[in-house]
Amino acid sequence: MTQRAAPMVEIHRGPFVESLHCGHAVLWDRSAGMVEAWGDPGAICLPRSAIKMIQALPLVASGAADAAGLTLRHLALACASHEGAPMHVGLVREWLADQELDERALVCGPQMSRDRDLKLQMIRAGESGERVHNNCSGKHVGFLTLARHLGADLDYCDPSHPVQVGVLEMFNALTDETSPGFGIDGCSAPNHAASIAGIARAMAFFASAHKRDNKRSLGAALLVKAMATHPELVAGKGRACTLLMRAAREPLVVKTGAEGFFIAILPKRQQGIALKIADGATRASNCAIAALLVRMGALEADHPDVARFLKPEIRNWDGKVTGHMAPVAGLI
C-alpha cells in the first residue's frame, strides 16, 4: 500500500499557515540500507536533472573521458544545470571545439542565459539565447563525447542510441530497480523513472564510491570530486546547489532537478538522500533539502547561505516582511 506524501514545508503569513508543501524523501546508507524515510519511499518519480551524475557516469567508466583528456572542470559541467554564465558557455564552446563540433550538434535547444549581467548584455545587443546557454549543454557535450568514443552517430538522445542504452543500464544498476519507463526531459534526453528509495540508493553508491576500486566506482568517485571541487560550474552565482556545497561542514554534493527534486551525496558518511516535493515547487525542495542536511549536521542553520533557503522571509512589493517559509516541525 502506498503512503501519502508527508508534510515538509510551510508558508506562513501573519499567524496563519497559508500553504503547505508535501513530499517524499529517503536517507540511504550504503551498508545499512534505508535509514529514514518521509512519505512513501516507493513513490515512483522522474528525478530530472538531479541524477546527471548517473547520466555522466558512462562517459567516465567507458574510458571516453580519459581518451578526450577531460578535466575535473569538464566533468563538473557534465553534471551541471548551469546558469549559462560566461564561464559555463566558454567551457562548453572549448569542449565542443576539442571534439571538432559546434553548437549545432547539441540537441538541447536554445535558452537565454540566466546570468544577469550576460542576459542584459545579450538583450541590449539584440541577441537571443543559443544552445550553448542551455542549462544542460554540459551534459550534452558529454553525451557527444561518449558517442564519438563509441563510434556511434550523433543522434545521441534517441532512447535506442548506444549512449542512452548505456545510461539506462547504469541507472537500473545503481537504483537496483528496473525502470518502469521514461519521459523526455526539457533538454530532449530520456529521463528514467525510479522509486525515491532507489534513487537514494544510487546516491549512496556515489557517496561510497571512493571506498572501492572497480571501474564504475572509480568513475563515480571522480564525478563526486569534480562536483565538490567546482560547485560554481554545477549551478552558478546565487544558486542553491553552489551555495549549499560551499557552506557545508563536511564534503557534500547536492544537485537539484526540475519539478521539486533534489539529491544529496555525503561521502564521509557514505550516505545519499533523494527528495521529491509532490507539487513540484522548487522553493520547497530547496528548503527541505537544507532542513534534512541541517538535521544531519552537514549544514549549519545559521549560515547565511543556508538560512536563505531554510527559513527565507517573504516580503511584499513595499518591502515589508509579510511571512516566511520554513520546514515543518520535526523535519529539522
Domain boundaries, the chain: 23-327
Tens digits of per-residue pLDDT, 21-75? 999 999 999 999 999 999 999 999 999 999 999 999 999 999 999 999 999 999 9
**pLDDT score, position 3:** 81
**pLDDT score, position 34:** 98
**pLDDT score, position 327:** 98
Is pLDDT at 329 greater than 60 in this prediction?
Answer: yes
- The helix (run of H) or strand (run of E) holding residue 255 is strand 253-257
**pLDDT score, position 2:** 63
Report the largest interatomic distance among the alpha carbons of the chain, rounded to a whole angstrom: 63
How much is the average pLDDT of 255-265? 98
Length of the chain: 332
How much is the average pLDDT of 85-114? 97
Is pLDDT at 307 greater than 50 in this prediction?
Answer: yes
* Alpha-carbon span 302 to 189, nearest angstrom: 38
**pLDDT score, position 299:** 98
Handedness of CA 234, 237, 238, 242 (dihedral sign): positive
Tens digits of per-residue pLDDT, 175-220? 999 999 999 999 999 999 999 999 999 999 999 999 999 999 999 9
**pLDDT score, position 108:** 98
What count of other Cβ atoms lies within 10 Å of the Cβ of residue 39?
23
Is pLDDT at 297 greater than 50 in this prediction?
Answer: yes
Q: Which of 54, 22, 55 is nearest to 276 (CA)?
A: 22
* Alpha-carbon span 211 to 166, nearest angstrom: 24
Is pLDDT at 105 greater than 70 in this prediction?
Answer: yes
How much is the average pLDDT of 2-31? 96
- In 198-228, which positions are buried (b, 16+ CB within 10 angstroms) versus exposed (e)? bbbbbbbbbbbbbeeeeebbebbbbbbbbbb
* Alpha-carbon span 146 to 55, nearest angstrom: 11
Answer whether 157's CB lies under 8 Å from 143's CB. yes
**pLDDT score, position 1:** 42
Q: Give the architecture-level CATH label for domain 23-327.
A: 3-Layer(aba) Sandwich (3.40)
Tens digits of per-residue pLDDT, 133-170? 999 999 999 999 999 999 999 999 999 999 999 999 99
